[in-house]
Amino acid sequence: MGLIIGIIVLFIGMSVVSSTGNISKISFVYKSNNPPNVPSNPNPLNGSTNITICPVNFSWTGGDPDGDNVTYDIYFGKCGDNLTLIASNIMTTWFQDSQLLEFETCYIWKVVAWDEYGYKTEGPNWTFQTEENFPPYKPSQPYPEHGAVNTPLDVILCWIGGDPNLCDTVTYDVYFGPTSNPSLKEWDYTETCYDPPYELELYEDYYWRIVSRDSQGESTSGDEWVFTTDPPNPPNKPIITGPTSGKVGVEYKYNFSLSDPDGDAMYLRVDWENGTPGPWQGPYDSDTTVRLNHTWTKKGTYAIRAQAKDIYGIAGPWGTLEVTMPRNKATYYSLFLRFLERYPLLNRFLTLLIN
């Protein structure tokens, strides 16, 4: 039974005498309430397809013919199931649901409008179909780039992933290691950047690959990528210390001080006299002094040369030390003459002895 709203405009059973003496009859005027408008113009459209699985933004046209305040109840469910009330007393003609939908599923919904006097109007059932699921995009745009060199040891790996279905969740399996076909290091990883699990080595090749996986178990494997870390710094020039003069046929000891900016182990080779370096010896730890002996068989002036290379094969500059075997007689004579110049009386005395 509808609610009747009576609006009294005059008093019952009474006569009103005007200033002119006329008598007016008292009467009642009643106005009946109309229910709200039928909800219409749904979004998503009735019968629409390929709707994203993102939380739905429902909207409709409502209102009331009497201008009454209207609230709305929203019912929602899968086609073939009973509708469930998911929101009530909505004061707007739109509502966003918070849940993700399922792929390739038919959904049904309706809106019930209520005015402020308890009248209601139930809208029709509307349906829509969600989108088809597609596999994730193939991982791409790696950083470092495939084939990159001089990569810092603290590099963080990044890539572009994602999925054609806007609100589908994607996780990643990360394969990484120093050999081709690297091992799995992370799975169900949600980020698109990855910090390797251990300290990288200098001048080393590292291989990596990403597999994308969506919420439905569809997966897409990326290509295998490789990068090379920074080459090491070359060893420092060996510092050679030892006698700079001597006699032929005598064995002399020399020290070769080795150091490397990266602290790498090193090999050492020495060229004693003929311009042809000897074989590499070692390896030796950085900041080590190597002691070697050598005997010259011929008189002359020689340049001892020494070079170090690290365990990666990077060679440093030559270190040198000049040696005279034996000391030149002319040098001794020149020093003697300088001595006599400083002591002229001694020079005169020796002259008299010689004469």
Of 133-137, 303-307, 339-343, the range with the lowest mean pLDDT is 339-343
Of 7-21, 94-108, 224-238, 330-344, the range with the lowest mean pLDDT is 7-21
pLDDT at 33 > cutoff 50: yes
In order of 10, 11, 12, 16, the CA distances from 20 in angstroms are 19, 20, 22, 11
Residue 31: per-residue pLDDT: 66
Residue 32: per-residue pLDDT: 87
pLDDT at 6 > cutoff 90: no
| Mean pLDDT within 296-322 | 94
pTM: 0.65
- Give the up-direction half-sphere exposure of residue 268: CA atoms within 13 A in the CB hemisphere: 28
List of residues 6+ apart from 349 with CB closer than 8 A = none
Contact in structure between 24 and 32 (CB atoms under 8 Å): no
Out of 3.40.50.10490, 2.60.40.10, 2.40.10.220, 3.40.50.1100, the CATH code matching 1-132 is 2.60.40.10
Of 182-196, 281-295, 326-340, the range with the lowest mean pLDDT is 326-340
d(CA 255, CA 238): 9
Of 48-57, 105-114, 251-260, 271-280, the range with the lowest mean pLDDT is 271-280
Residue 346: per-residue pLDDT: 61
239-329 CATH: 2.60.40.10
pLDDT at 22 > cutoff 80: no
Residue type, 316: G
Contact in structure between 303 and 277 (CB atoms under 8 Å): no
- Where exactly does CATH 2.60.40.10 map onto the chain? 1-132, 140-229, 239-329
**Tokens matching residue 169:** 């969740």
How many helices and strands in the chain, by DSSP H and E? 2, 29
Residue 73: per-residue pLDDT: 98
Residue 349: per-residue pLDDT: 62
Q: 312's torsion region: left (phi>0), alpha (psi -120 to 50) or beta? A: alpha
d(CA 157, CA 195): 6
pLDDT at 168 > cutoff 90: yes
Write the DSSP symbol of residue 117: T
CATH class of 140-229: mainly beta
Mutual orientation of helices 329-342 and 344-354 as an angle, nearest 10°? 120
Contact in structure between 205 and 178 (CB atoms under 8 Å): yes
